[in-house]
Amino acid sequence: MSEKVLLQMKNIHKRFPGVYALKDINFELHAGEVHALLGENGAGKSTLIKILGGIYTADQGEIIIDGEKAEIHDVLSAQKNGIAIIHQELVLVPHMTVAENIFLGREPKVAGFVNQDKMRQEAQALLDDYDMHIDADTLIKDLTIAQQQMVEIVKAISFNSKILVMDEPTSSIADKEVAFLFTTMRTLTAKGVGIIYISHKMSELEEICDRVTVMRDGTYVGTEVVKNTSKDELIAMMVGRELENYYTRDYQNATEVILKCVDIADGNMAQGASFELRKGEIIGFAGLVGAGRSEVMKCIFGLTKNYTGKIYLEGKEVKITSPVQAMKAGIALVPEDRKLEGLYKVQSVQYNSTIEVLDQFIKGIIVDQKKEDEITQKYIDLMATKTPSREQVIGNLSGGNQQKVMIGRWLATNPKVLILDEPTRGVDVGAKSEIYSIMNELVKTGMSIIMISSELPEIINMSDRIYVMAGGKVKGCLNHDEVTQESIMQLAAV
């Protein structure tokens, strides 16, 4: 890692109507380093990145690139200054080829027509440079998410970018692909590119990042060399206080089996999974992406209608073929992808809280408004959701608070068995810790929880027992007092 300063953002201020989004932020990026930008949701990371990318303009402060003051006032001038941003949501055109996407808007031309051959060759050369094993003629829609990300990176490089911003690049790709992503990032830094890396996953910091800058509530907290700091120290910087108990868990002696599933299969991703859940217990489901964990849960919740296998609830066999039946039987499922499967984004917190329990306060055309308000408030209080009012549009809340509303929505159905699929994905550290302690409280009252999670520390610290799945089957069950990350990974590897 060289000490050459590539980028300096000095004393950046940004105000929005009613919000002082960035207060005197300083940020520095060296050539050849991976520099993590860390902070809870709402800390101002994305605002800072948007200023760098030319989407917003700073009210005060300056940006210095290679020792010279840079004028960035729109996306194009950011590009000209060698800045490329890879957003969390990929922005490729699905029905065009890889080559066409890489050269979109600047296609090599011959007599006014696109020179297809030249474009394809140049794109392929770029892809091969980074050992990507992607054919430049493939349509984007036929690539995996991870491969699409690689194409985005190649596209960024082809602009001769020196500064690369990656916004949560690992949030939607499997571990194996993460390793390849990291290798590619190392190839880039060796060439002198500086990478700004945004992620919620602390474990990745140690693996890939050289330095880390922490932001909190729109202010600059500090910059540390990753090797010289610890996870606890960073979390303390992020939340502004020591989180005494990040994970809260009081294990109790659970004996009574409440849910027993035998050979659950959907003829596709789920290939015959069997497990038991006891009353007052949290069981974890670990495994790689595509191991069939969510698919098994979808069978139990009645979303997959043609499943085989047997489900016993409190000793009696039940046949569940719709979510309504599942909820009646006392099973609730908080889905994996909040945005896609859970949120009614333009509606209020109240609407989002009560949509599954309308029966409790609507009789025919008589709406008991007081009852609805009570239900909503009860779960706002229980989940400690931070919202200005019940009428607030849910899309304006932070990811953590949205997730709390989601969990509250399904708790309102009074489940005996609560299935949480990736309950803390895209949730900031403070809210994560709160969700853990709520889970702990819930099982103390006799509820039983199934948690699917790809975050090993969370699954190890929160579960009584951990089922590991691979290839649609349960490969083993580990007790919380004997489990390690290694023992899980051994079972999970196909």
Partner 1 sequence: MTRSKTITKSTLSSKATKKVKIYFKDNLGIIVAFLILCIFLSVNPATSNSFFTTKNLFNVLRQISTNLYLACGMTMVIILGGIDLSVGSIIALSGCIAAGCVSRYGMPIGVAIIIGVLVGLLVGMFNGLVISKTTIPPFIVTLATMNIAKGLAYVYTGGSPVRVVTKEWQFIGAGYIGPFPAPVVILVVVLIITAIIMNKTKIGRHMYAVGGNQQAAEFSGINVAKVKFFVHAFSGAMAGLAGIVLASRMYSGQPTAGDGSEMDAIAAVVVGGTSMAGGSGKIGGTIIGGLIIGVLNNGLNLMNVNSFWQYVVKGVVILLAVFLDYIRNKKSR
323 near partner 1, judged by CB under 8 A: yes
Q: Which is nearer to partner 1, 315 or 364 (CB)?
A: 364
| Euclidean distance between CA atoms 55 and 165, whole angstroms | 14
For residues 437 and 249, give the distance between their C-alpha atoms in angstroms, rounded to a whole number.
7
Q: What would the two tokens of residue 190 be?
A: 């060796």
Phi, psi dihedral angles at 260 (to 5 degrees): -130, 125
Among 333, 418, 452, 468, binds partner 1 (CB under 8 A): 333
356 binds partner 1 (CB under 8 A): yes
Binding mask 280-319 for partner 1 (x = CB under 8 A): -----------------------x----------------
Q: Which residues, at least 6 apart from 370, have a Cβ–Cβ distance to it below 8 Å?
A: none
Near partner 1 by CB under 8 A, which window of 96-104, 124-132, 266-274, 341-349? 341-349
Cα–Cα distance measured from residue 100 to residue 268, given in angstroms and rounded to the nearest whole number? 34
Residue 58 makes CB contacts below 8 A (sequence gap 6+) with 12, 13, 14, 22, 51
Q: Position 256: which residue type?
A: E
Q: Does 344 bind partner 1 (CB under 8 A)?
A: yes
Q: What share of the chain is helix, strand, coil (3-state, %, to 5)?
A: 35, 25, 35
Which residue in 315, 366, 389, 486 binds partner 1 (CB under 8 A)? 366
Report how many residues bind partner 1 under the rule CB under 8 A.
Answer: 26
Q: Does 441 bind partner 1 (CB under 8 A)?
A: no
364 binds partner 1 per the rule CB under 8 A? yes
Residues 6 or more apart whose CB falls under 8 angstroms from that of 270 comprise 264, 292, 295, 296, 299, 304, 307, 472
Strands 448-452 and 271-278 turn out to be: unpaired
Binding mask 248-287 for partner 1 (x = CB under 8 A): ----------------------------------------
Query: Which C-beta is closer to partner 1: that of 191 or that of 305?
Result: 305
Integer Cα distance of 235 and 242 in angstroms:
7
Query: Does position 365 bind partner 1 by CB under 8 A?
Result: yes
Q: Does 342 bind partner 1 (CB under 8 A)?
A: yes
Contact flag: residue 246 with partner 1 (CB under 8 A): no
Closer residue to partner 1 (CB): 49 or 331: 331
**Min separation Cβ 243 and partner 1, Å:** 31
- Minimum Å gap between C-beta 12 and partner 1 is 22
Minimum distance between the CB of residue 351 and partner 1, rounded to whole angstroms? 7
Q: How far is CA 142 from CA 93, 97, 128, 355, in A?
A: 12, 9, 19, 36
Residues near partner 1 (CB under 8 A): 303, 322-324, 326-327, 333, 335, 340-347, 351, 355-356, 358-359, 362, 364-367
